[in-house]
Amino acid sequence: MTTVLQDGLGAATGCRYLQQRNQLAFVEYARGNICLLDMVRPLSAIDARGTTLLKGTWVFDCETGIQDGNLNGPGDIWWEQIDSIKRQMMPVGGASLVNMGQVNFATITPNILQAQAYGKAPIPGNNDATNQLLAGDVFAVRTNAGNFCKIKILLYGYNLSIQWVTYKFASGCHVIGTGYATPEDIAVTSDEKTAYVTERTGNLLKVALNDANRASAVLIASGMQAPHQIYLDEIRQQAYVVEFANPGRLIRIDLITCQQTVLLDGLINATGLLVSVDLAYAYISEQTGGGRISRYSLRDGTRVEIATGLTNPFFLTWADPAQTSMFVAERAPANRITLVETVPRADSVRQVAHNMGNQVSSIALIDSVRLLVCCDQEIDIADLLAGTLPAPGLFKGIGLVPWNLITLDGLADTTTQPGYPYQFTRNAPFGGSLSLQVNHSLAILANVKYYRVMVDGNVRLDTWRDLKLNPGNGKYEIPVQSLPKVIAGQPGYYAIHKPNEWFMNPDLGMILDSAALQDGLRIFTIDFTNTAGKVLASHMQPVLIDNNRCTASVEMPCVNDISATTECGMLRFTDRTQHVRIVYVASHPTPEFATFSWRLCKAGRGPVPGVSECSIDGNASLAAFIFDKDVNALLGTCPSAAYYAAVYVYAKAINGISRQSQYDASSAVAFALTP
């Protein structure tokens, strides 16, 4: 799925994503500018807000709040009624959706809305157990006008009662440098302070991004023939550049001495360039013979074609940290993005995004599935996960959670299937050791021989053990260790079970330690292949990892800001109208991923009768909680009494089989309330 982020540009060509700034740096060939595009745009105004009754079969416009029965008229969402049971929320007119689930509507900020992964898939609203538009559910809309709207379901039915707020944003595009002569590419240093720019006139320039006009730039190299993409080697203070000429050259430039060294010549209209991290190979796209990408040895100049038949290939971008594959921009008339693996084999060239803006030039990765794409007059964002169909039935899920009961936000939600016997807390993240489930029996029928698991494009090389049946005595007693294999020169492949093998855990595909991953939304990819490593089917699964620990504490209670002594635990009062105040913490770095129980109990009798504040269950919070009640309510008929106060914080994270209670926290204090 592709969305236009910025239009009206003057031939955007080379770009780099600035991770620390969350900005895209790019050059405009026609205007001679260096620009920055903010991924989080500043809020301009609130366009509209309110509550309304969204009629069944009608279209709703998020900017105006107007409803219309004309599907081809203005509007962003269509509350479609397929039959008496089947209903769905459809994006229309170029809008896109994402379901955020049961979240706090008031805390969804404009920045949070901009960070969502929007898609064209409808949100199920069926009048049955599969309904995802229950009261309290929140979904977001990227409108066809480029604004963002949050919508909360107040009451479900043929007509939906909704609350909505639409935010209008200012342009996130800024010109920071002018005066360049047909700039082709920009490379930025890791500290995101300095840029290098190629000009088609033959130059390589160095400029500070805080003073980026051409007049402030330093000339590093000149006299080249239409230099295009730059590969920057910061460690050795060198840059590599290819020339769009016939014949053209690959040139290495010393950024300190400005000396040029020709590494390769005889290139034909070269545009894109990548260099392997060990500096052994250069990968170069050339607009010749229908378009090709070749791997050149930088030791002896040997060339191996890894992709041919491309349409005007332009700049290249690594698709994964291991440098096993790359994205190439194919220009008009194709206007698409293609994935090319560095080792040629069957299915090593795959088209991954179509219908981009005219003259696709360059690609920058936000993460493993979201790409920023510079085109002639626009910058697009391509979401490779949106609309991806899973391998039918081959990947089953994580533990006891089927893949289809994991939301697009990566959270487990088995409550949508109330008849399913293994129920987990709604919208639970994953943590601990995850057992990925693969349908080995179905894979055998589909002639699948191997599978490979990647997380954010990084190949997993996990090992685990299981027991296999001993057919001689019927016992599961033969230990088997699963080890990754190298197939077609690529690591990380695991064999599908043989038909005559019977394991204690027949669907186990991997035991993965999620604690080794960064917390947050991770993209799991499971490829199913034949014996040659050709991908027969693939499943992409968002999984939200959370291995954070909860925090719990209870301070000693106070009366009139005088605390009970920790040695004796005596809390004295002079008047029964005075208040007992206890500060307690029930926290988690992501509060919605934990719940807590608070109890203030009188001796061994449980919570104080009639005082609701003495027994509270709720969601964790970053802020401390305060218990405050007068002495009279706590003592009742007692002149003095003993108490204990306790809080327990429960982590919601699951490994697909059980809740990860090792991340829980608790705290308790005891005291006596006496005059």
C-alpha closest to that of 523 among 361, 370, 345: 370
C-alpha closest to that of 323 among 486, 490, 188, 191: 490
For residue 566, name the pLDDT band (cuts at 50, 70, 90): low
Beta pairing, strands 464-470 & 551-554: unpaired
C-alpha closest to that of 14 among 370, 383, 359: 359
Query: Who's near 660: CB < 8 A, 6+ residues apart?
Result: 431, 432, 547, 651, 653, 654
What is d(CA 476, CA 469) in angstroms, rounded to the nearest whole number? 4
Residue 518 is predicted with a pLDDT of 87
pLDDT digits (tens, 9 = 90+) for 63-95: 999 998 777 778 999 999 998 899 999 999 888
Which ranges in the chain are annotated with CATH 2.120.10.30? 2-40+173-383
Q: Scanning the structure block, which residue is given the tokens 């499971």? A: 526
pLDDT digits (tens, 9 = 90+) for 414-460: 988 888 999 998 889 999 999 999 999 888 877 889 999 999 888 99
Considering Cα of 96, then 98, then 103, then 107, what sign does the dihedral take? Answer: negative
Query: Of 367 and 558, which is predicted with more confidence?
Result: 558
The predicted model scores a pTM of 0.57
Residue type, 164: W
The kind and range of the H/E element at 86 are none
For residue 298, name the pLDDT band (cuts at 50, 70, 90): very high
Which ranges in the chain are annotated with CATH 2.60.40? 551-674
Cβ(573)–Cβ(643) below 8 Å: no
Cβ(656)–Cβ(614) below 8 Å: no
Residue 121 is predicted with a pLDDT of 81
Residue 483 is predicted with a pLDDT of 95
Cβ(22)–Cβ(366) below 8 Å: no
Domain 551-674: state its class: mainly beta
Q: The domain at 2-40+173-383 falls in which architecture?
A: 6 Propeller (2.120)
Cβ(390)–Cβ(408) below 8 Å: no
